[in-house]
């Protein structure tokens, strides 16, 4: 599977309250992804809390992950930062620490122009010297990529993929057709926003950049496999059974929910980086119910892959 | 004048390309503010690029400013950061370095809930132990304060003011009336968005948090003085003559424009922190024309204050 295709699983990055990465917990979470044979690990994505970690801790996380994965699964690393020089340094760090690819979101404080984002992304891509996926995530970066800008960036050698948010105001199918007409052959178009990604895969998206996949990779892989086989019925069946998880993701933000789930699974004791607060205990029954549904799907996923 | 009332002048923070503060240039810019007797200096606001500076450089900027102002003008310092512990440390640094008050924006990556912002702001206010102004700036923080949340926060001892963006969908007058009904007596309500602030002052706002004031404090002070005197004609006349500056601010973002102006005034050679790019040279004639208009106003401002 080429990089940035198939299931890219985005784990959280467990830390203590001071923002120091708990590499033991991280390795436990990565073990699940290796066992499920996800197509790539998306370390230090939004779910991985990259924006809340300093350079030294981000480097520690990449080193721990690269060492533990040891080439068994390709490692993609988020290198977004407010300053261009900081993002360039992070890209160089990620490469030196063993990343196979980079993910770059144009995070902003002062709203950025298209030209500013173009120059920024080009500088970081060149500094990193690895295949790079654009990270189009307006809900966190507050920058909206136009198709024009995507086309300009996709013409650069290093930039080989884009992680898109679910579209508003047009269908995923229409969006993919428009984008395919503007990017080179082989440029990967993938989606995030887990609740819409089953549909995106059925519509021909190359990748699912998945928060669920960072914690429950077997179920996520089943969706990807069924979509590849054109088995829409199975995709829809699994997707429907994840409905209560998607409801929680939409209501609370997927990051808060996967932290609660990871704690309930005893994978980590970590809480989200403050100011983000853990979900209130009142939500635990809903989360447990959603996880029970996933457990059952995971059991089926195990037997589907012959374990 | 009580803190967070009158003209709070927000200078840029000149740095080299690596984000190291040029304290000589900063002092030159502060000299203009001292000479015009602004009511406070708002160091490390959005215009001051706080989001792009690391902790050590922010501390250096505060130390340089506090040392140079030497009590002649109150010093307010922006202490926003993505992490709560980082913002708390910045608040303690600012106090230790001589700040008189703090300004706190709930900057976000993962969108924050009201409770998260409440807990975050309370923790930073307590850590700082100085009068604190809420910084309500959705265009950069992507968080929208409800009146309810402002009221909750205004009940805390340290929180004595708010810096509001220009309202959409209601008048400034209506907004001030609603807010006054929900905050303690003496709580200061001020505005940013320079092109609407003359009107805000005439409508009874307590403060103008001014980008223009960080570079052209005399003209800004004339507006504030005229508004205090109820001299709407003078306010409107000056405001109208600043129209081409306001157009530039709205089109390019005030930060990019004041960098260009400061360079033309030979106050600094600094450029905005990348990825933010300097304005293209094609815009120089427009900027020069706007500055010529301000120059003439500044001359009048000088004679108005008897120089």
pLDDT digits (tens, 9 = 90+) for B17-55: 999 999 999 999 999 999 999 999 999 999 999 999 999
Task: Determine the pLDDT at residue A167.
Answer: 96
Chain A residues with CB under 8 Å of B109 CB are: 46, 51-52, 107, 140
Q: Cβ contacts of residue A112 below 8 Å, gap of 6+?
A: A106, A120, A143, B275, B276
For A148-178, the pLDDT digits (tens) are 999 999 999 999 999 999 999 999 999 999 9
Q: Is residue A138 part of a domain?
A: yes
Phi-psi domain of B268 (left: phi exceeds 0; alpha: psi -120 through 50; beta: other): beta
Q: Is residue A64 part of a domain?
A: yes
Task: Determine the pLDDT at residue A69.
Answer: 98
Closest CB to A51 among B52, B82, B106: B82
Q: How deeply is B126 buried, as exposed, middle or buried, from its count of CB atoms within 10 A (0-12, 13-18, 19+)?
A: middle
Of B132, B294, B134, which is closest to residue B221 (Cα–Cα)? B294
CA dihedral B140, B145, B151, B155 (to 10 degrees): -40
ipTM of the complex: 0.96
* A163 in active site: yes
* Pair A4, A40: CB distance under 8 Å: yes
Q: Does B110 touch chain A (CB under 8 A)?
A: yes
Q: Is residue A11 part of a domain?
A: yes
| Mutation site for B-interface testing, chosen from A16, A55, A83, A109 by largest number of B Cβ within 10 Å | A109
CA dihedral B102, B147, B84, A102 (to 10 degrees): -120
Write the DSSP assignment of A81-111 as a string of letters: -SSHHHHHHHHHHHHHTT-SEEEE----SSP
Reply yes or no on whether the pLDDT at B297 is more than 70. Answer: yes
For B177-193, the pLDDT digits (tens) are 999 999 999 999 999 99
What DSSP designation does A214 have? G
For B94-138, the pLDDT digits (tens) are 999 999 999 999 999 999 999 999 999 999 999 999 999 999 999
Helix (H) or strand (E) holding B75: strand B75-78
Q: Does B203 touch chain A (CB under 8 A)?
A: no
**Range in A240-254, A292-306, B256-270, B287-301 with the lowest mean pLDDT:** A292-306
Task: Determine the pLDDT at residue B93.
Answer: 98
Among A50, A109, A135, A269, the one annotated catalytic: A135
* Pair B48, B78: CB distance under 8 Å: yes
Q: Is residue B1 part of a domain?
A: no
For B66-103, the pLDDT digits (tens) are 999 999 999 999 999 999 999 999 999 999 999 999 99
Mean pLDDT, all residues of chain A = 96
| Mutation site for A-interface testing, chosen from B138, B275, B277 by largest number of A Cβ within 10 Å | B275
Task: Determine the pLDDT at residue A138.
Answer: 92
Reply yes or no on whether the pLDDT at A218 is more than 60. Answer: yes
Task: Determine the pLDDT at residue B276.
Answer: 98
Reply yes or no on whether the pLDDT at A302 is more than 70. Answer: no
* Pair A217, A38: CB distance under 8 Å: yes
Task: Determine the pLDDT at residue A298.
Answer: 86
Asked if omega into B44 is within 30° of 0 (cis), the reply is no
Mean pLDDT, all residues of chain B = 96
Q: What is the mean pLDDT of residues A188-198?
A: 97
pLDDT band at A303, cuts 50/70/90? low
Task: Determine the pLDDT at residue B299.
Answer: 81
In total, how many domains does chain B have?
1
Task: Determine the pLDDT at residue A304.
Answer: 59
Chain A residues with CB under 8 Å of B19 CB are: 83, 85
Q: What is the mean pLDDT of residues A223-241?
A: 97
Q: What is the mean pLDDT of residues A51-67?
A: 98
Q: Is residue A114 part of a domain?
A: yes
For A109-156, the pLDDT digits (tens) are 999 999 999 999 999 999 999 999 999 999 999 999 999 999 999 999
State yes or no: B147 annotated in a binding site.
no
Give me the active site residues of B, please.
135, 163
Q: Is residue B203 part of a domain?
A: yes
Q: Is residue A14 part of a domain?
A: yes
Residue B220 sits in a domain whose CATH number is: 3.20.20.70
Q: Can you give the residue range of the structural domain that contains A179? A: 6-304
Q: What is the mean pLDDT of residues B164-174?
A: 96
**Across the interface, do B85 and A115 touch by the CB < 8 Å criterion?**
no
Q: Is residue B293 part of a domain?
A: yes
What SS3 state is found at B195? helix
Q: Does A278 touch chain B (CB under 8 A)?
A: no
Of B252, B262, B217, which is closest to residue B10 (Cα–Cα)? B217
At residue B107, what are phi and psi to the nearest 5 degrees?
Answer: -65, 150
């Amino acid at each position: 599977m080429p990089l940035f295709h198939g299931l890219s699983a985005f784990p959280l990055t467990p830390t203590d309250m001071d923002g120091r990465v708990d590499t033991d917990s991280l390795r436990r979470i990565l073990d699940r992804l290796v066992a499920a044979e996800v197509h790539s690990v998306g370390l230090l994505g939004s779910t991985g809390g990259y924006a809340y970690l300093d350079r030294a801790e981000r480097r520690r996380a990449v080193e721990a992950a690269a060492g533990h994965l040891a080439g068994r699964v390709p490692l993609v690393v988020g290198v977004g930062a407010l300053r261009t020089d900081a993002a360039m340094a992070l890209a160089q760090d990620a490469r030196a620490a063993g990343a196979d690819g980079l993910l770059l979101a144009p995070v902003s404080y002062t709203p950025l122009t298209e030209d500013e984002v173009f120059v920024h992304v080009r500088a970081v891509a060149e500094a990193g010297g690895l295949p790079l996926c654009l990270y189009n995530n307006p809900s966190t970066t507050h920058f909206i990529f136009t198709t024009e800008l995507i086309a300009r960036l996709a013409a650069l050698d290093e930039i080989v993929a884009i992680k898109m948010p679910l579209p508003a105001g047009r269908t995923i199918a229409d969006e993919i057709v428009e984008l395919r007409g503007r990017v080179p052959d082989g440029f990967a178009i993938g989606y995030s926003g887990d609740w819409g990604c089953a549909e995106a895969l059925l519509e021909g998206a190359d990748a699912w950049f998945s928060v669920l996949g960072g914690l429950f990779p077997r179920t996520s892989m089943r969706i990807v496999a069924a979509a590849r086989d054109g088995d829409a019925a199975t995709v829809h069946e699994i997707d429907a059974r994840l409905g209560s998880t998607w409801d929680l993701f939409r209501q609370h933000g997927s990051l808060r929910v996967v932290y609660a789930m990871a704690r309930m699974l005893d994978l980590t004791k970590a809480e989200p980086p403050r100011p983000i607060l853990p979900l209130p205990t009142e939500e635990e029954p809903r989360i447990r119910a959603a996880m029970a549904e996933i457990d059952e799907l995971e059991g089926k996923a195990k037997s589907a892959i012959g374990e």
